Chain A
Amino acid sequence: MPAGTEGGRGGQFRPKDGTPAVIEEEAKKRIVRLAIRRTLRLLALSLLRLGARGAVNIIPIVGEVLTAIEIMRTISELAQLKVDADAALEFVKKGPRTLQELQVSSDSAEAFPSYDQFTKTEWTQAQLAKRFGSAGDGYEYHHIVTQGGANASNIPPDQLHNTDNIIRIPKLLHEAVTAEYQQDAPDGSGRTVYEWAAN
């Protein structure tokens, strides 16, 4: 959230006081916490694959077994997680950004005919990379106003599928934002926070 927003919510994820060293340490703790979230998911997936593995190329270790391929795959995912965590930490260390700084194209807005064309297909990713460059290692493209649900019919396509609506943020932060919106809403209705906030 940009600094200086109504209600003083700007810089929500930045400690309000402290030296740069304290701020950096706090940021690091928060990023590690986000990384740990994904670690648990990776391990849970390993667990599932462990249960479903075939009986080939098995390595017995400490009373358990994993396939060599499985180990390599999970270690490689964990290595990528480290890259993502480092990217998020670097991002947070630099402090709050303006919206313009995060948008994929700050010079002029460019409309896309459909969401799929923007992010879903390989062809579009290639096109995106050609136009804006890759999102970057440890980064993802994020839609500020989401594309589905009521937005699809309430907001004109040229405003929804528009580079003004797309920002580039670290994957770990993107995952954290998405997870917050998928939680149970505070009104006791059983909707998600996203569904609740949209109404």
Chain B
Amino acid sequence: MEVDEISRLAEKLDAWFDGILPLLESNDAAAQSKALLEGVEIAKEFDRIKEEGIAVLNALLNRQDNADGRVASLVQGFAFGVQLLGALYELGDTDGGNKGAHLVRDVVKKLDAIEPGGVSLAALLDHPDDVVRVYAGQYLIDRMPERVVPVLRSIDEKNDGRHASMRAMTVLFPWDWDQKEKERGTRKK
């Protein structure tokens, strides 16, 4: 199962939405019903992809590997999990996204237990997907701010209303606030 499936589904939903808009003002009940059923099929597909995604994540969490293989599979699980939750949030499925976020937190706990410091997650700061870089940054900002802050800043500046840029803003806001507080404290001394 690939997270791209959700993006493809979102595109299908976009096209469906464009198609049904003109029908809403018509009195063509047959065409409306047909379009509606096509939409219901998309909703079914969405549920299936979500359930499969959560199942894949659970399987990755419970896999028994040797130590090296374990770190690699957990990092892979992290990237997959945040792409899944990002796609779910993007489609307005907050409960589904939160379920994904819960599993991602479990991945991070397991990684921390094997390898405190999050060194392996740092590799994801170069991932091509914004949402993966943002969530890696979210977990690493206190540990390696000099690397994380520029990554988050560049995504925040996209300002495109997508989940990744909104999340970058949410992570950076308290960070910037803390830095200002520290500066004020230093000046007082």
Residue of A nearest to B162 (CB): A33
Residue of B nearest to A13 (CB): B161
With contact pairs A15-B159, A188-B108 given, residues A71 and B92 touching in the complex (Cβ less than 8 Å): no
B105→A190 contact, CB < 8 A: yes
Taking chain A's interface residues, is the majority helix, strand, or loop, or is none over half, making it mixed? helix
A40→B46 contact, CB < 8 A: yes
Check B34 for interface membership: any CB of A closer than 8 A: yes
- Taking the nearest CB of chain A, how far is it from the CB of B33, in angstroms? 5
A30 to B165, CA, bound (A): 13
A188→B34 contact, CB < 8 A: no
A103 to B89, CA, bound (A): 29
Contact of A66 among B10, B21, B36 (CB under 8 A): B36
A183 to B135, CA, bound (A): 13
A30 to B162, CA, bound (A): 9
Q: Which of B33, B85, B173, B176 has the most CB of A within 10 A?
A: B33
What are the residues of chain A within 8 A of B30 when measuring CB–CB? 61
Contact of B33 among A30, A61, A82 (CB under 8 A): A61
- Taking the nearest CB of chain A, how far is it from the CB of B135, in angstroms? 9
Interface size class of B (residues with CB under 8 A): 35 or more
A9 to B170, CA, bound (A): 12
Which of the candidate stretches B12-20, B53-61, B66-74, B125-133 sits at the interface with the other chain? Answer: B12-20
B171→A64 contact, CB < 8 A: no
Check B94 for interface membership: any CB of A closer than 8 A: yes
Check B143 for interface membership: any CB of A closer than 8 A: no
Taking chain B's interface residues, is the majority helix, strand, or loop, or is none over half, making it mixed? helix
A61→B108 contact, CB < 8 A: no
A183 to B85, CA, bound (A): 10
With contact pairs A46-B43, A71-B33 given, residues A36 and B89 touching in the complex (Cβ less than 8 Å): no
What are the residues of chain B within 8 A of A61 when measuring CB–CB? 30, 33-34, 37
What are the residues of chain A within 8 A of B32 when measuring CB–CB? 71, 75
Residue of A nearest to B165 (CB): A12
Check A135 for interface membership: any CB of B closer than 8 A: no
Q: Mark A49-91, 1 if CB is under 8 A from B, else 0.
A: 0100000000101101010000100110011001000000000
What are the residues of chain A within 8 A of B138 when measuring CB–CB? 186, 188
What are the residues of chain B within 8 A of A33 when measuring CB–CB? 90, 161
Q: Mark A1-32, 1 if CB is under 8 A from B, else 0.
A: 00000010100110110000000000000101
Contact of A188 among B14, B90, B139 (CB under 8 A): B139
- Taking the nearest CB of chain B, how far is it from the CB of A178, in angstroms? 9
What are the residues of chain A within 8 A of B91 when measuring CB–CB? 36-37, 40
A183→B33 contact, CB < 8 A: no
- Taking the nearest CB of chain B, how far is it from the CB of A25, in angstroms? 13
A92 to B159, CA, bound (A): 15
What are the residues of chain A within 8 A of B34 when measuring CB–CB? 61-62
Chain A residues within CB distance 8 Å of chain B: 7, 9, 12-13, 15-16, 30, 32-41, 43-44, 46-47, 50, 59, 61-62, 64, 66, 71, 74-75, 78-79, 82, 175, 179-180, 182-184, 186, 188, 190, 192-193
A-B contact pairs, 13 of them (CB 8 A): A12-B169, A36-B13, A36-B91, A44-B43, A46-B36, A61-B33, A62-B38, A66-B37, A71-B33, A180-B166, A183-B101, A184-B101, A186-B170
5 new A-B contacts at CB < 8 Å, known A16-B159, A78-B24: A9-B169, A39-B13, A46-B43, A82-B24, A186-B167
Query: Which are the 10 A-B pairs with shortest beta-carbon distances?
Result: A37-B92, A184-B101, A43-B43, A43-B39, A79-B24, A30-B161, A182-B94, A186-B171, A44-B43, A47-B43
